[in-house]
Structure 1
Amino acid sequence: MDLTMITRTGRKAWTIAFCSFVIPTFFGLIASYGFLEHWKYYLGEYEAKNLPVVVIGQSGCYFAVIASLLSDLEILNSELGRLALSTALVMDAFNSIVSGIGTAAISSLKTDSHDDGSGKGPAAALLTILYYLCFLVLTPLLLRPIMKWFVRNTPEGRPAKKLYTSIVFILALAVGMLGVVANQSVLAGLLVLGLIVPEGPPLGTEMIKQLELFSTWFLCPIFVTSCAMKLMSNGSLSIMTVNVFVMGTMAHIGVKFLYDPSRKYAGYQKRNIMNLKPNSDLRIVSCIHKPSHIIPIKNVIDICSHTSSNPLVVHVLHLMELVGRSSPIFISHRLQESVDSGHRTFSEDVIVTFDLFEHDNAGTVSVSTYTAVSPPCSMHDDICYLALDKLASIIILPFHLRWLEDGSIESADENIRSLNTKVLEIAPCSVAIMVNRECSSSINYINNTKQIAMIFIGGPDDREALCFAKRTIKDDTYHLVVYHLVSTINNDDFTNWDVMLDHELLKGVNGVYGSIDNVTYEKVGVENTSDTATFISDIANQHDLIIVGRRNGEKSSQTQALENWIEYPELGVIGDLLASPDTNTKASILVVQQQQMPKS
């Protein structure tokens, strides 16, 4: 874990940690010693003497336990999760130091009436405590630089050498034995060294890969069982086990019932492109998982024509899987130029690319880059929180598939697909999924103009997609073709209000307000789904980018039969058809979903 979190923890976490440990311990010890004779009568003398040990053991809450619970609840990187982790870290550190001092002192005091007094007493206890404090301070100061040297001498993206991990294992044994000098257990020394190892790749990740299976699933259960069999009777052990089980279950159910992080993302304010005021800035949150996502995402942002009167404010979030560390991190690279994780900078390619993009478009584009390191199951919370905090109008996500030049699928990442689905469900603004099928760097230009198509059927998602597409026409290097698919049998399920909104928005591209040189409007009559599929196949390879609405849950005669064969629901019917391997196209696809407003 990153132990420097303690220095960055706020007053709230310190207060909660102190109260959570001190209050139950204080009242528990009062009840234990104040009614000692009472407990002896009911529990027996042996059990009564062990009661203070039980109280202290059950009063604290360990960081590893809290981190595991938050991970199971998928709220590790939520506001509550981060507060709980900070609180647990402070509480765990405080508990460990106090327990260590107590162990050093008690073990050095005279406890046996037959002892001759050598090596016991207050002076010996004070000396042992001094040894312990020196051990806590000097071990990190001496060994942390060695660990950082291992990290610096490991090439980026490569695992740490076996020699380095072997040295760490030897140091662990040595530090464990040094802990014995301060009357601590060997485990205390191992714990201190574990906190010294830099979290994350390459060293922390490699250590976990080598140790996790054997230690977590084999040694840990044996260790817990052997500890429970010592300082305790079968009755005490049973009661403590049941208590842990009941409290853990109640905590899990209680937090799940009382706290839903998605509530704060409910869209009570309209944050989408369609409702932007004229000449206002467009705020975008774009997400990147892999290096292959950088250029496609940058190209999509670039087509949102940016001028001094219509600037772009872009927040680029590099998402990384949490590996080799216990707590998630969120880094703003504008506020913090370098990040200490073994003196290695996160997201260097992302930062450089978008810094150059901002420099090339000075005065019209503002870019901020961030890195979020969290479990895949809760990455959506980082995305949605950033969009909420920065008042974004749209989130742009990369699709989970990657294609080869021959049109076949090269790779698929189901974690990205699951993430996209969660963001679509709870996002506080509009969402767009970028499907990059342009496998080569060459772009087909007609008269030095990039061809963009927008397929419009109707509904809020199509209207949002059209508003996004209309931003491209402010730049003469783009030519927009709007294909309006109209049913010839007139059985659309849209309300009259939806139809009115569709027609009003289409007036901006169909010549009602005057012709625009780089816009073409085509009204296409389709009788059934077969006509729609044929039409899309015909135009699929004529454009560089095709923008469509997701139209989730909307019924229409143009697409009804295709809904039973959809493979990627997150793309909608038209987007799924364009992304299908059966469709011959190298055009990129942008699928837009308008902000989901809560139902009244």
Structure 2
Amino acid sequence: MAGPPPPPPPFSFGNGTFEVCMALPPKINSVGIWENQTSPSVILTYSLPLLELQMLLIFTVTHLVYGILKPLGITLFASQMFAGMIMGPAVLGKIESFRDIFIRNELVLQVIDTTAGFGFCIFSFLMGVKMDARLALKTTRRAVVIGIVSLLCPLLVSIIVQEIYKTPNQSERITIEYLVGVVTQSVTHFSVVAWLLGELNILNSELGRLALSAAAVSDLSNIFLYKCFTLAGYWKMSPSLAVGWAGATIFYLFLLFCVFRPWMFWVIRTTPEGRPVKGVYVVIIMMLAFAYGVFTHWLDRSPLLGAFLVGLAVPDGPPLGSTMVEKFDGLANGVFLVIYVTTSTMRVNPTKMLADLSRVRFTCILVIATFLAKFISCLIASCWSRIPIRDSLAFSLIMSSKGIVELSYFSSYKDSEVLSDETFSMLTLVVLVNATIIPILVKYLYDPVSRKYASYQQRNIMHLKPNSELRILACVHRPEHVSALVDVLNITYPTKESPNVVYALHLIELVGRDSPVFIAHQKHKNLVVNSYHHIVAFNQYEKNNWETVTVNAFTAISPSKLMHEDVCTLALDKEVSFILLPFHRKWSVDGSIEDDNNVIRNMNCNVLDRAPCSTGILVDRRRKLFMSSTSTYSVGMIFLGGKDDREALTLAKRIARDPKVKLTVIHLIADEDSGNFIDWDGMLDAEVLKDIKQNDNSHGCDVKYIVLVSKHGQQASRIVQSIVGDYDLIIVGRRYGADSVQTMGLSDWSEFPELGVIGDLLVSPDLNCRISVLVVQQQDFIDS
């Protein structure tokens, strides 16, 4: 899969002897600039102060470059490479004082390079942890075809181009250099694709999931081919050497996946639910990663490969994989990866690269031919899969993207002296150009947000046919959300003639893996996830309402900033009429605020902006709605007018069909309105209020209609304060951005715009009550 750079081929170059002089014991810590007041720069003769200065310069330059290039759409990785070019021999490297800091002698380079290599070893381990290897084994036929085609086509084309332009006197080293370029340009690496999709916020889009699956197949195929060619190379040199290498590799993998991986599952089983993994286990796993790195180095393999495979053996996701990522991801990505990318790019020397123009020309031809072969093959395969042409172009660019994995390949090969300075510089510049242009083009071609969730029909409660089924998507984040949502579902009064179809979606934040997961529990009944208790609760709700309620349970594991896409996509696919969301604030039993979850709030706001149907946010104030089969409860509905209020009133009418419900509609009017409706919205309001005004109890509904006058927001606030204690649940329309005389001035004090002015007033701590609130927004837009 997208692991660290593979080992160099069984050839060696540069077997010369180097003589290095160093002082023992080495000078590490200084006593400060006052050690030699006449020459404070003496502290730079110590390795630790010098390393700190190098890191400070790297972070300063990279952040300045990123701040300048970010508005242009340049990614952080490309900005770090640009910073490395600036700090290299072409720009700042020409300044003597700067050269003294970074390239004064070999020992200076060794310290910073060792630090970067150590950090990238941790990063390689985390790449393995976050990778879901099963994705390549349970993917669709379309992803398998694209993954294999995207690997074989550019590989064959590049080999043909190399044979065409091969000169009779071409050295073996140059041939191997070109072979390295061919392989790295042909493979699509899972980690690079996952990073690009995450950078563009399309990780769990339909196109993103397909790209991840195809990249996983391509990566797995690449490893298989590489191992076969390596084994063949060793067999050609010595059959006994090949057998020994194969035996050591099998023993290595057996020990890792048949001994240590089961032990990791034991760690997961012995960790109490909701509790963190013990620190001693985290330390053991990290030490195991470094030990395996030493072991693979002893086998003449890159130590990064050992760390990566240990990470691959760690079960992804919570609790173990997420713990490893939480503890080390910030350090690896925020510190060591920046140093690694920058110092690797600093080794690019354009002057040496231009010394041989014929090689530059041939490398450009080879790279362009490989890129076009990969791009065109992916484009044809995706169009064959009936993907729209614009999305196919974006998908082909994603599959052709290059990044940190390719850069690590080239750095490793240069350290092994497989690549010359010229070839390394050219191939690194290819990665830089690719990482700069492709994200901009993909962002231009593929916008999953714009009109993605626009529906071609009315999907709301108000436009449902009489006695038609009501499809509701109930979203759950935490266990305490379940009971409140089930209470509201219970009072919607499903019957055999008008049943409820409930889609229960448990949303889990993606931590400890790269690929998002979406599980339909009807198809994967034996799959064990953290949604077990939520599924049981909704299944019990279905049993309590047999033949009137159907429940389908789902679990979505995705990044917090992309959770709304899972919600909107499921609502669109299942033709849902109403999405029910929990409020982000949690109250304790005594009514005090216990927790504010901004992840839930951001998701709710994104759903309100993009939902393909009507949406409701339930504010649970710890007041039980559904006490028993004989108890009654009061529901209030505050009506001001507008489409959101009409949708909320339609839902309130459906609830009022329950004989145990007493519904009161409080109609707030301005003094000058006097109940006369003169505009189109007013006429629609009058129509939806007609049967409420007539107090039509023909269906057994207990409905009361009250008209109250509010001339301004302060008066509306007093009205709300006077009625909140009379009800168990109050339903209101969101009415976001709708100005009215009745609520004038309240929006200036609104804390939660997603609830509207009345909803925000009802959840204010100033009311000091435990009433629950349901804020309703009608479907926002329809594709015409």
Tell me the TM-score normalised to structure 2 length: 0.69
Q: Distance in 1 between matches of 2:512 and 2:505?
A: 21
* Identity %, equivalent residues: 42
Determine if the alignment matches structure 1 residue 89 to structure 2 residue 216. Answer: yes
Aligned to 1:227: 412
Determine if the alignment matches structure 1 residue 449 to structure 2 residue 579. Answer: no
**Higher alpha-carbon deviation: 158-167 or 488-497:** 488-497
Give the drift of 1:399: 1.0
User: Does the 8 Å contact 1:104/1:184 carry over to 2?
Assistant: no
Deviations 1:515-547 (A, max 9, x none): 665110112222232222221111122111010
Determine if the alignment matches structure 1 residue 51 to structure 2 residue 178. Answer: yes
Larger RCO: 1 or 2 (CA < 8 Å, sep 6+): 2
Change (3 A) 1:93 1:564: same
Give the drift of 1:216: 3.9
Aligned to 1:350: 534
Change (3 A) 1:45 1:353: closer
Determine if the alignment matches structure 1 residue 33 to structure 2 residue 216. Answer: no
User: Does the 8 Å contact 1:400/1:413 carry over to 2?
Assistant: yes
Give the drift of 1:394: 0.5
Find the residue that maps to 2:137 and give its secondary structure.
Answer: helix
2:513 partner amino acid: R
**Higher alpha-carbon deviation: 159-168 or 59-68:** 159-168
Q: Distance in 2 between matches of 1:222 and 1:190?
A: 19
Deviations 1:10-34 (A, max 9, x none): 1111111112222222212222232
User: Does the 8 Å contact 1:547/1:590 carry over to 2?
Assistant: yes
Change (3 A) 1:30 1:493: farther
Determine if the alignment matches structure 1 residue 367 to structure 2 residue 551. Answer: yes
Change (3 A) 1:423 1:507: same
Deviations 1:348-388 (A, max 9, x none): 22112111111111111111221111100100011111111
Determine if the alignment matches structure 1 residue 248 to structure 2 residue 422. Answer: no
Of the candidates 150, 157, 160, which is equivalent to residue 274 of structure 2? 157
Find the residue that maps to 1:245 and give its secondary structure.
Answer: helix
Give the drift of 1:581: 1.8
Determine if the alignment matches structure 1 residue 121 to structure 2 residue 238. Answer: yes
Determine if the alignment matches structure 1 residue 99 to structure 2 residue 226. Answer: yes
Determine if the alignment matches structure 1 residue 68 to structure 2 residue 195. Answer: yes
Of the candidates 636, 639, 660, which is equivalent to residue 477 of structure 1? 660
Change (3 A) 1:133 1:91: farther
Determine if the alignment matches structure 1 residue 528 to structure 2 residue 712. Answer: yes
User: Does the 8 Å contact 1:159/1:201 carry over to 2?
Assistant: no
1:487 partner amino acid: A
Change (3 A) 1:232 1:360: same
Q: Distance in 2 between matches of 1:144 and 1:337?
A: 25
Aligned to 1:113: none
Give the drift of 1:107: 5.0
1:294-373 matches, within 5 Å, as 294-339=482-527, 344-373=528-557
Change (3 A) 1:172 1:449: same
User: Does the 8 Å contact 2:487/2:625 carry over to 1?
Assistant: no
User: Does the 8 Å contact 2:697/2:703 carry over to 1?
Assistant: no
Q: Distance in 1 between matches of 2:652 and 2:204?
A: 34
Q: Distance in 2 between matches of 1:388 and 1:329?
A: 18
Q: Distance in 2 between matches of 1:512 and 1:284?
A: 28
User: Does the 8 Å contact 1:132/1:179 carry over to 2?
Assistant: no
Find the residue that maps to 2:495 and give its secondary structure.
Answer: coil
Aligned to 1:190: 307
User: Does the 8 Å contact 2:646/2:688 carry over to 1?
Assistant: yes
Aligned to 2:398: none
Q: Distance in 1 between matches of 2:591 and 2:323?
A: 37
Aligned to 1:145: 262
Find the residue that maps to 2:767 and give its secondary structure.
Answer: coil
1:227 partner amino acid: S
User: Does the 8 Å contact 2:455/2:572 carry over to 1?
Assistant: no
Determine if the alignment matches structure 1 residue 290 to structure 2 residue 420. Answer: no
1:65 partner amino acid: V
Aligned to 1:116: none
2:497 partner amino acid: S
Structure 1 or 2: larger helix share?
2
Q: Distance in 1 between matches of 2:594 and 2:677?
A: 39
User: Does the 8 Å contact 1:394/1:429 carry over to 2?
Assistant: yes
Determine if the alignment matches structure 1 residue 559 to structure 2 residue 689. Answer: no
Q: Distance in 2 between matches of 1:396 and 1:346?
A: 21
Q: Distance in 2 between matches of 1:267 and 1:39?
A: 65
Q: Distance in 2 between matches of 1:501 and 1:415?
A: 37
Give the drift of 1:39: 11
Of the candidates 434, 454, 457, which is equivalent to residue 266 of structure 1? 454
Q: Distance in 1 between matches of 2:506 and 2:498?
A: 25
Aligned to 1:208: 325
Gaps of 5+ in 2: 1-130, 345-410
Change (3 A) 1:418 1:98: same
User: Does the 8 Å contact 1:545/1:590 carry over to 2?
Assistant: yes
**Higher alpha-carbon deviation: 45-54 or 4-13:** 45-54
1:172 partner amino acid: A
**Higher alpha-carbon deviation: 557-566 or 87-96:** 557-566
Q: Distance in 2 between matches of 1:35 and 1:527?
A: 85
Determine if the alignment matches structure 1 residue 397 to structure 2 residue 527. Answer: no
Give the drift of 1:184: 3.3
Give the drift of 1:598: 3.5
**Higher alpha-carbon deviation: 452-461 or 563-572:** 563-572
Deviations 1:269-291 (A, max 9, x none): 11110111111111000111112
Give the drift of 1:306: 1.1
1:579-598 matches, within 5 Å, as 579-598=763-782
Aligned to 1:467: 650
Q: Distance in 1 between matches of 2:734 and 2:327?
A: 45
Q: Distance in 1 between matches of 2:307 and 2:678?
A: 68
Deviations 1:100-151 (A, max 9, x none): 3333443564xxxxxxxxxx33564466456546755674234332222221
Cα RMSD of the aligned pairs, angstroms, is 2.8
Find the residue that maps to 2:757 and give its secondary structure.
Answer: helix
**Higher alpha-carbon deviation: 544-553 or 168-177:** 168-177
Find the residue that maps to 1:373 and give its secondary structure.
Answer: strand
1:504-523 matches, within 5 Å, as 504-511=687-694, 513=696, 518-523=702-707
User: Does the 8 Å contact 1:103/1:183 carry over to 2?
Assistant: no
Aligned to 1:117: none
Give the drift of 1:293: 1.2
User: Does the 8 Å contact 1:358/1:367 carry over to 2?
Assistant: yes
Change (3 A) 1:218 1:512: closer
Determine if the alignment matches structure 1 residue 239 to structure 2 residue 426. Answer: yes
Aligned to 2:146: 16
**Higher alpha-carbon deviation: 239-248 or 288-297:** 239-248
Change (3 A) 1:79 1:503: same
2:694 partner amino acid: G
Find the residue that maps to 2:261 and give its secondary structure.
Answer: helix
Give the drift of 1:557: 1.2
Change (3 A) 1:29 1:529: same
Change (3 A) 1:221 1:462: closer
Q: Distance in 1 between matches of 2:241 and 2:200?
A: 47
Query: How many correspondences in the alignment?
Result: 581
Q: Distance in 2 between matches of 1:195 and 1:416?
A: 31
Find the residue that maps to 2:691 and give its secondary structure.
Answer: coil
Deviations 1:72-115 (A, max 9, x none): 21211111111111111111222223223333443564xxxxxx
Change (3 A) 1:192 1:71: same
1:27 partner amino acid: V
